Amino acid sequence: MNEVKRTTCKCSTEIRNLSVTKRDGILLHDVNLDIHHGEILALIGRNGAGKTTLLKALLGRIPYTGSITFHNPEGKLLSHPHIGYVPQNMLFDRDTPMTVLDMLCANLTRFPVWLGHRKQQRQEALEMLKRVGARENLLDKRLGTLSGGEMQRVLLAFALYPKPDMLLLDEPVSAVDRMGIETFYDLVTALRKEHAMPILLVSHDLAHVEKYATCAALLDKTIIVSGPVRQVMQTNAVKEAFGLKLAGGK
Amino acid sequence: MEWFYRLVDTLLPFEWTEFGYMKNALLAIILITPLFGLVGTMIVNNKMAFFSDALGHSALTGIAIGVMLGIDNYLISMMGFALLFALGISAVMRKASSSADTIIGVFAATGLALGVVLLSAAGGFAKYSSYLIGDILTVQPEEIGMLGILLLVILIAWVLFFNPFLLTSVNGDLAASKNIPVGAIQQVFMLIVAVLVTVSIKWVGVLIINSLLVLPAAAARNVAKSMRSYHGLSVVFSVISGISGLIISYYAGTAAGGTIVLVAAVIFFVSFFLGRRRMHVSA
C-alpha cells in the first residue's frame, strides 16, 4: 500500500515531528514537511527561524527527535542518501594549499590526492566543472583565491557527484553577482527537469523564490505554511514575515 | 642493519658516520622525519598544533603510570594514556562551551603536572627528565625496526584515509553530505597523531616533538599551492632538517633534537619570506 502511495505521491523526503532543542531553548519543533521528486521547495523565513538548523538535521549533523526518511523515485527507502549540499558562505581556511582539482578529486576517488592526480580523474573533474558552466582554468586555482561566483560553481559541481538523491542549496546566490544568479538558477532548474531531483532551497530573496521555486514553506521554529509557491506567497503569514511591500509585489 | 652500516660507510665516508650510534640515529631520522612532515600537514590544516603539543605533555603521565604498574616498556602505558587523553579532549570539546584552546590547555597542563608529581613520588623525576628533550643518539637497532613498522602503518593509513581527512578538514558539513563519518574520521586522525607522538617521544622529547610536527608543514604551507606540493615540501623540509640538524649537532657538540628544530625554524622563516614575496609579485 505504502509503496503504491509513494510512487504516486513521489515523496522524496518526509520530515515528521522533527524537533531540535539546544541548551538555550527550542530551535525547531514539530516540523512536518514533504519534499517531492522534481520539485524545488523554497524554505523561507526570518533570520533565526531555524532554516540552517533544519539543513543541519537533514545532513545528520545535529541530534533531533522525530524522523527524516528519504526515498528514491521508485519509492525505495534510502538509508544513506547522497545529499548534494551547497553551503552559503563556506567557512574554510583560505590559506590552505588546496586546488579546485584537489577538492573535486578527494570526492571523486579514494586515490589520495596528496599523491597527485591521474589523467582520467583530471578529465572527470574538468567535465564536472563544464557541467556547471565554470571555466576550465579554475581546476588548478587555489580554493582560497576563487571569487564568490566561482566558489559557488565549484561547490555545485562538488555537490553533483555522486548524483545526489537530494540537493540542498543554502542561500546559494548570496555571494554571486547578478549575472551569475540567473545562470545558477537556470542550471538548477535544468537539473530538476533532467533528473527529477528534489531541491531544497533556502532563500531570502522572494523574487527569486517566486520565479524559480515550485513550492515554498515558511519556517518559524515550525512550518507555518507550505504549498505551491504562488499560494504561499499570498498568505498573510508570509506578508507579515517579510513586510507587505516585498510579498505583495505582484 | 649490517647492510645499512656498510651503505653509509660507502656513501658517506665522513667523520660523523664513523660511530655506530650516529648511523643508528641517521636511520631513525630517515624513518621518522617523513612521518612528521606527512602528519604535520593535517595538524596545521586542522589547527591542531596545540592538541599535538598536549598529547606530548600527556606522555609524562603515561610514563609515570608505566613506572607505577611496573611495566618495563613505557610505550604501552604512554600510548594507552595518550589515547584516553585524546578521546577525553574530544569528548570535553563536544560538550563544553569553552573554546578549544582553553580546554586543550587545561588538559596539557594537567597531563604534565600529573606526570611530574607521579614520577617524583615514584622515586625522583630526574631519572626521567631525559624524556623532556629526548636523545636520538640513544636509539637502538630493535627500536629502529619499530620505527620502520610505524612508518609503514601510518603511510598505509595516510593512503586509505587521506581524502576523507581532507574533506573533513575543509568543512565538516560538506564532508557529512558525502556520507563521511566526520566524528570517526577525526578520531582516526587523533589516533594517528597519538601513536606517532608517543612512539617517537623517547628520542625527540616532550618539549621538542611538537616543533617537528608543526614547523615543516607550516613552512611548506607558505609556498605550496596544491596538496601534492604541500605534502612533498613538508616531507622534504622535515627530512632535510632532521639530517642536517643531526650533522650540525655532531660538529657543534649540541643536542641533536634542538639543533634539528632550529634548522626547521630557519627553513620556516626563509619560506615565509619567499611566500610573501611571491604574493606581492602575483598581486
Q: Is B225 exposed, middle or buried (0-12, 13-18, 19+ CB in 10 A)?
A: middle
- Percent of chain A surpassing pLDDT 90: 50
Specify whether A97 is located in the same domain as A71.
no
Report chain B's mean pLDDT, rounded to a whole number.
92
- The answer, yes or no, to whether residue A249 has pLDDT greater than 80, is no
Distance CA A153, CA A130 (A): 10
Q: Is B10 exposed, middle or buried (0-12, 13-18, 19+ CB in 10 A)?
A: exposed
Give the chain A residue nearest B228 (alpha carbons).
Answer: A114
Determine the average pLDDT of the residues in A2-31.
77
- The answer, yes or no, to whether residue A174 has pLDDT greater than 70, is no
- The answer to whether position A166 is within a domain reads no
Mutant choice from B43, B162, B163, B231 vs A, greatest count of A C-beta within 10 A = B163
Residue in B173, B224, B226 nearest the CB of A87: B173
> In the prediction, which pLDDT does A9 show?
55
The reply to whether residue A92 touches residue B170, judged by beta carbons under 8 angstroms, is yes
- The answer to whether position A131 is within a domain reads yes
Query: How would CATH label the architecture of B2-282?
Result: Orthogonal Bundle (1.10)
Tens-digit pLDDT profile for residues B225-265: 999 999 999 999 999 999 999 999 999 999 999 999 999 99
Q: Is B4 exposed, middle or buried (0-12, 13-18, 19+ CB in 10 A)?
A: middle
CB-based contact A53:A20 (threshold 8 Å): yes
Chain A contacts of B163, Cβ < 8 Å?
105-107, 109-113
CB-based contact B57:B206 (threshold 8 Å): yes
- The answer to whether position A55 is within a domain reads yes
List Cα–Cα distances, B138 to A142, B6, B17, B21, in angstroms: 44, 20, 15, 7
Tens-digit pLDDT profile for residues A188-225: 888 888 888 899 999 878 888 898 899 999 999 999 99
- The answer, yes or no, to whether residue A182 has pLDDT greater than 70, is yes
Comparing CA positions, the residue from B192, B187, B214 lying closest to residue B79 is B192
CB-based contact B54:B89 (threshold 8 Å): yes
Low-confidence ranges of chain B (pLDDT < 70): 280-283
**DSSP code at position B73:** -
The reply to whether residue B177 touches residue A80, judged by beta carbons under 8 angstroms, is no
Distance CA B168, CA B165 (A): 5
Distance CA B273, CA B222 (A): 8
Chain B contacts of A95, Cβ < 8 Å?
221
User: In DSSP terms, which residues pair with A172 in a beta bridge?
Assistant: none
Distance CA B161, CA A111 (A): 10
Comparing CA positions, the residue from A97, A107, A111 lying closest to residue B228 is A97
Chain A contacts of B177, Cβ < 8 Å?
59, 83-85, 159, 168
Q: What is the ipTM of this complex?
A: 0.89
**DSSP code at position A40:** E
User: CB within 8 A of A239, min separation 6: which ones?
Assistant: A247, A248
Specify whether A143 is located in the same domain as A113.
yes
Give the chain A residue nearest B176 (alpha carbons).
Answer: A59
**DSSP code at position A145:** G
- The answer to whether position A61 is within a domain reads yes
Quote the pTM value: 0.90
Amino acid letter, A86: V
Distance CA B276, CA A162 (A): 38
Mutant choice from A92, A114, A115, A117 vs B, greatest count of B C-beta within 10 A = A114
Distance from CA of A52 to the nearest CA of B (A): 11
Residue in A102, A107, A114 nearest the CB of B178: A107
Distance from CA of A158 to the nearest CA of B (A): 9
The H or E element that residue A100 is part of is helix A100-108
Residue A149 is part of which domain span? 93-161
Sign of the four-CA dihedral A35, A36, A38, A44 = negative
Specify whether A143 is located in the same domain as A186.
no
Distance CA B29, CA B250 (A): 14
- The answer, yes or no, to whether residue A64 has pLDDT greater than 70, is yes
Comparing CA positions, the residue from B139, B146, B142 lying closest to residue B1 is B142
Distance CA B55, CA B95 (A): 20
Distance from CA of B162 to the nearest CA of A (A): 6
- The answer, yes or no, to whether residue A246 has pLDDT greater than 70, is no
- The answer to whether position A109 is within a domain reads yes
Specify whether A192 is located in the same domain as A228.
yes
> In the prediction, which pLDDT does B216 show?
98
Comparing CA positions, the residue from B211, B186, B246 lying closest to residue B17 is B246
Give the chain A residue nearest B224 (alpha carbons).
Answer: A97
Residue in A83, A99, A143 nearest the CB of B177: A83
Tell me which residues of chain A have a C-beta less than 8 Å from any C-beta of chain B.
Answer: 56, 59-61, 80, 82-85, 87, 90-93, 95-99, 101-103, 105-107, 109-116, 140, 142-143, 155, 158-159, 168
The domain boundary, picked from A109, A129, A161, lies at A161
Q: Into how many domains does chain A fold?
A: 2
- What are the residue ranges spanned by the domains of chain B? 2-282
Give the chain A residue nearest B96 (alpha carbons).
Answer: A23
Residue in B159, B171, B224 nearest the CB of A91: B171
Distance CA B134, CA B212 (A): 13
Would you place residue A74 in the very low, low, confident or very high pLDDT band (cuts 50, 70, 90)?
Answer: confident
> Tell me, what CATH number does A11's domain have?
3.40.50.300
Highest mean pLDDT among A83-92, A114-123, B66-75 belongs to A114-123
Specify whether A137 is located in the same domain as A242.
no
Tens-digit pLDDT profile for residues A130-172: 988 888 899 999 999 998 888 888 999 999 999 899 999 987 6
Would you place residue A248 in the very low, low, confident or very high pLDDT band (cuts 50, 70, 90)?
Answer: very low
Would you place residue A29 in the very low, low, confident or very high pLDDT band (cuts 50, 70, 90)?
Answer: very high
Sign of the four-CA dihedral B43, B221, B99, B108 = positive
Specify whether A71 is located in the same domain as A189.
yes
Distance CA A205, CA B67 (A): 66
